[in-house]
Amino acid sequence: MTTAPAGASLDATALRQRVAAVVAAHDPTTTDPTEFLAARFDAGLAWVHFPEGEGGLGAPRVLQTVVDEEFERLGAVPAGRDKLIIGLGMAAPTIVAFGTPEQRRRYLKPLYVGEEVWCQLFSEPGAGSDLAALGTRAVRDGDTWVVNGQKVWTSHAHNARWAILVTRTDPDVPKHRGMTYFICDMHAPGVDVRPLRQLTGEAAFNEVYLTDVRIPDSHRLGEVGDGWRVAQTTLMNERVSIGGRPEPREGGLIRFATEAWRSAPPELRTPGLHDTLMRLWVEAEAARLTQERLRQQLAIGQPGPEGSATKLAFARLNQEISGLEVELRGAEGLTYDDWTFHRPDGHGMATRGAGYRYLRSRGNSIEGGTSEILRNIIAERVLGLPGEIRVDKDVAWKDLPK
């Protein structure tokens, strides 16, 4: 495979040539998907803005769109990557931002090619919306840390090899300080994963108990006590990955609502429902275009609080649109017969029925940051409004009400 030499000036044309070289040497129709993704990673085309040798070329982030579109044009889009979303969208950017060279070399390639699944150990029974209140303790013991606590709402924990984990390492300082961020081996002794059955009958989420789990200090990301700052990188990327996925015009859930309208019997195609459909169609298109603009802004910088707005709109629209679809489908929309317990790799919004979409969308306003918290972020960090009064900012975590 012939590519431009490392360090050469890169532009859209040069990147398209690199993509073509990878596809020519590894026919995506016959090459094993893991092997193909490994070739893409080695060519620096996984994330072009990452450093050379770590899946990237040190190129401007904006050029990633060129690479993705060219692979898609050549028929080389990997399928079934839903269970990798936490690794790809949240763990990888955090590892690149705060990981050591050894950590980046160890984790990024297996993460990208799908050999290792990741999960996110953040929320706790008493620390969901207020993540900084978390109480999972990590106590240093020489070159290792001993971790005890409970995490909840953990997607893919049942098939994850690694987890990104935030802990409390110093209870004597205010809650936003004294937190430390680790990479946790999900196969380590003391890690207990238990399913959480959802409204849909499935169990994509889990609760995870950590009992005397030993984590080497070499698995720490960032400095001791700096876990809140590291976690913010993860959270900003999470909200973009949840609320800012690219969609074609009339894509996403609005597609199912418009299909339901076109096939609905005349008695259901009322002027009121028509007005509701048109309003939601316009809002969905406005949200799609806003998400596209956000992705263009992210291409030349870092994810910021604006991602909270796209995630907030995503949650509200999904819930309203799925409700309209159920209404348009009449009695059919009220049926739901898939209550069997199972462990899905993804959420299946596009492959399941209207009843599933309606039930599953209830969680969109909770996962990835509740809508209430996102409104606070938008108000304070985007609009510049006065922040809420917080009486616990200077109180040691150990002295807070539990």
Catalogue the active-site residues: 238
Cβ–Cβ < 8 Å for 328, 199:
no
HSE-up of residue 306 (Cα within 13 Å, Cβ side): 15
**Total residue length of the chain:** 402
Dihedrals phi, psi of 221, to nearest 5 degrees: -110, 120
Q: Helices (DSSP H) in 246-331: which residue ranges?
A: 253-263, 271-298, 306-328
Between CA 364 and CA 311 the distance in angstroms is 9
Nearest alpha-carbon partner for 90 in 228, 234, 303: 234
Give the pairing type, strands 205-216 and 144-151: antiparallel
3-state secondary structure at position 387: coil
The two most distant CA atoms of the chain are separated, in Å, by: 73
Which residues pair with residue 210 across a beta bridge? 149, 191
Give me the helix-helix angle, 271-298 and 306-328, nearest 10°.
150
**At 138, is the secondary structure helix, strand, or coil?**
strand
Distance CA 381, CA 306 (A): 9
Which letter does DSSP use for residue 385 in this model?
P
**What single letter denotes the amino acid at residue 20?**
A
Nearest-angstrom CA–CA distance, 151 and 85: 19
**Cα(69)–Cα(246) distance, integer angstroms:** 12
